[in-house]
A and B are shown apart, each in its own frame.
Chain A
Amino acid sequence: MKRRGFLAGVAGALALPLARAARAQVNPLDPHIWAITNGAPVKKGKVKLELPELADNGNSVPMKVSVESPMTEADHVKAIHLFSERNPVPRMASFYLGPRAGRAEISSRVRLAGSQTVSAIAQLSDGSFWSDSAHVQVTLSACMDES
């Protein structure tokens, strides 16, 4: 029984950070996010933000964001915004696209000032907002070490 209890504890401790990462959601009251959504609810889903879990160098971290959308005139992604939790400039980038894009997917490379959660918020043509977040562990942060 003791051993079982211990194992359950270990499993729980291991699962905790995962659960925290899964629960990481954007805060709609954040003024930078409010500036885009104007208070509209931001739902989790549709968006997929891909970042490495571990980045050696925060100066250049590959980032890919995609949104499930047919990209038609009636139903398309209008914009995708990227937010950082710890960078001195929280709104990292905004991408504007439309039905002519064919596919709502953008890749780039970002700067991260330390380990943090990055969020992507997509604005759809029907006015709804969807998001996804990813946590990145940064070994060498941007904006800190350079002289």
Chain B
Amino acid sequence: MVARVQIPQRAKRGDVIEVRIVIQHAMETGFRRDAVGQLIKRNVINIFSCRYNGVEVFRADLSSGIAANPYLQFYTVADASGEFEFSWMDDEGVQGSERRSIAVAA
């Protein structure tokens, strides 16, 4: 699964930084039918989490109520240089992840 992440590369300690992510995923609702009238099985990203230097700073439980190619924007406090790890999983157990590093000046 492809995702686009936007976080600042540099920040000052204590800054509230904006994190934006778009994950390419159909977020199949399970209510649609295919050409022969069969229900298409639900397959949505049901869990998303963001870890900052190993500590979870944001988590989301998603459902079919979130649009295809889910977009999330949230905030976190820059407290140390290090790495952001974004990970998610859909109903079929397919996992995805993305990493970004940040340099935090005192």
A residues bordering B, Cβ < 8 Å?
59-61, 82, 84, 87-89, 91-98, 100-103, 105-111, 142-143, 146-147
Contact = CB atoms under 8 A, between A and B. Distances in A.
B4 interface: no
Interface residues of B, number: 31
Contacts, number: 95
B103 to A, nearest CB: 18
A92 B46 CA distance: 11
B73 A103 contact: no
Interface string B22-48: 000001010111010000000000000
A105 B27 CA distance: 23
Contacts of B60: 93-96
Nearest to B71: A109
A146 B32 contact: yes
Most chain B beta-carbon contacts within 10 A, residue among A87, A107, A109: A109
- Per DSSP, are chain B's interface residues mostly helix, strand or loop, or mixed? strand
Contacts of B59: 95-97
Nearest to B72: A108
A128 B67 CA distance: 29
Interface of B: 16-17, 27, 29, 31-33, 35, 52, 55, 57-68, 70-77, 79
Contacts of B65: 82, 84, 87, 89, 91-93, 110-111
A91 B71 CA distance: 17
A137 to B, nearest CB: 18
Nearest to A93: B62
Nearest to B42: A89
A86 B77 CA distance: 36
A129 to B, nearest CB: 17
A84 B66 CA distance: 11
